[in-house]
Amino acid sequence: MIKATTLSPRELKKPPITAFFGLILGLCMLLICLVYSVTLGAAEIPLGKILTSFLAFDGSYDHLVIQTVRLPRSLIAILVGSSLAVSGALMQGLTRNPLADPGILGIESGAALFVVVATFIFGSSSLNVYALAAFLGAGVIAVLVYILGSLGRGGATPLNLTVAGAALTALISSFTTGILIVSQQTLEQVRFWLAGSLSGRDFNLFLQLLPFVGIGLVVAFALGRQITTMSLGEDVAKGLGQQTAWIKIFTAISVVLLAGSSVALAGPIGFIGLVVPHIVRFYIKADYRWILPYCAVLGAILLLIADIAARVLLKPQELPVGVMTAIVGAPFFVYLAKSKVKK
């Protein structure tokens, strides 16, 4: 049903020098986007002030805005973008499912349910509570969808996983809606969060989740070679002497850490995890040792740009960034389904 990813020896030995330069170039672009993102907003802040806010912090309005609002928000965008993209790449590589993405597979709706339940029961609207609940929800649903999807005929095929994700999402969001109907107060509190947004996030939240994302990324990068082999098919991987069970477990841990922290930080933001790995694979064919770091950089860039657009398009109103990514990403999903999944 799926075109096998072919990996010729020549491609594996692709001179890492070009790949390395590409990565450096990407990091430079990321830096430019970061600076741009910090200067843009309700109050436009000149470039020079960014530097002085670090070198000579004087407590002025602009400096405060940079340090407490813009910079945390932009850094969180980077963290979320890269974790989404890397978790998407891991899922796609491991399951050989070109349509895998934390949103499609229902993880984000699971996080949303837990957040709504937590808000309903504890009445708290603190982002820290949201983060914890989202993290738990993402983990539980990730496991559930995978189990459900692999129970079907043929195991965890793209179709089975996608349908399991869609069905579970249908169930979960009807519970979420049920709670929101019963409590209008909860609705008022969480509705902006539910659409996926980066506004109002502070450094504390960033620092709390940084270790999780850090561990997730390190595990992912360390698994690069194994994922490359697994993406050729489990039988091949076993034939090459891979301990496939352990690879699956570690990949799952990494996926849950990454997808969980990103939902915890920003709410459900779809399609970054789907789109970025595919864009990266246009350039780097099959070597996950390089695909994963590229995804991290490109995912960060894309989410930063999406967030800038969400802030700028309807100024002074702000769009939820999750809506932006879905409107751009879903047509890409349609294109992928058409080109990668054969009858």
Partner 1 sequence: MSFDWLVIRSQAISFRIDRRVPIILLCLAVAIAVAMVMNVGRGEYPISPLDIVKTILGLDTGNPDHQFVIQSLRLPRTLVAFMVGMALAISGTIFQGLTRNPLADPGIIGINAGASLAAVTVIILFPSAPIYTLPLSAFAGALLMAILIYSLAWNNGSSPILLILMGVGLSAIASAITSLMITFGEINDVSNALVWLAGSVYGRTWEQVFSLLPWLIVFVPMALTLTRHLNALNLGDDVAKSLGSQVEWQRGLLVLVGVALAGAGVATAGNIGFIGLIAPHLGRQLVGGTHEGLIPTSALLGGVIVVMADLLGRTLFAPIEFPCGVVTAAIGAPYFLYLLIRNRKK
What are the residues binding partner 1 (CB under 8 A)? 1, 99, 103-104, 148, 151-153, 159-160, 162-164, 166-168, 170-171, 174-175, 177-178, 180-182, 184, 187-188, 191-192, 194-195, 270-271, 317, 319-320, 322-323, 326-327, 329-331, 333-334, 337-338, 341, 343
- Cα–Cα separations (whole angstroms), residue 141 to 89, 144, 303, 320: 18, 5, 24, 23
Q: Which is nearer to partner 1, 145 or 286 (CB)?
A: 145
Q: Which is nearer to partner 1, 105 or 133 (CB)?
A: 105
* Encoded tokens for 10: 């020549």
Q: Which is nearer to partner 1, 117 or 341 (CB)?
A: 341
CB 302 within 8 A of CB 272: yes
The DSSP string of 102-142 is: TTTTTHHHHHHHHHHHHHHHH----HHHHHHHHHHHHHHHH
- Tell me how far, at minimum, the Cβ of 177 lies from partner 1, in Å: 4
Q: Which is nearer to partner 1, 130 or 294 (CB)?
A: 130
- Tell me how far, at minimum, the Cβ of 143 lies from partner 1, in Å: 14
- Tell me how far, at minimum, the Cβ of 305 lies from partner 1, in Å: 17
- Tell me how far, at minimum, the Cβ of 218 lies from partner 1, in Å: 31
Q: Which is nearer to partner 1, 11 or 188 (CB)?
A: 188
Please choose, from the candidates 231, 254, 257, 230, the residue with its C-alpha nearest in 3D space to the C-alpha of residue 241: 230
**Neighbouring C-alpha atoms within 13 Å toward the C-beta of 85:** 31
CA 294 – CA 29 distance, rounded (Å): 12
CA 103 – CA 84 distance, rounded (Å): 10
CB 213 within 8 A of CB 79: yes
Those residues with Cβ within 8 angstroms of residue 47's Cβ, 6 or more apart along the chain or in another chain: 35, 39
In sequence order, the β-bridge partners of residue 17 are none
CA 292 – CA 311 distance, rounded (Å): 28
Q: Which is nearer to partner 1, 246 or 335 (CB)?
A: 335
- Tell me how far, at minimum, the Cβ of 111 lies from partner 1, in Å: 14
CA 336 – CA 343 distance, rounded (Å): 13
Residue 309 burial (CB count, 10 A): 15
* Encoded tokens for 231: 């993406």
Q: Which is nearer to partner 1, 7 or 166 (CB)?
A: 166
- Tell me how far, at minimum, the Cβ of 170 lies from partner 1, in Å: 5
- Tell me how far, at minimum, the Cβ of 129 lies from partner 1, in Å: 20
**DSSP 8-state code for residue 321:** H
- Tell me how far, at minimum, the Cβ of 253 lies from partner 1, in Å: 24
Q: Which is nearer to partner 1, 29 or 336 (CB)?
A: 336
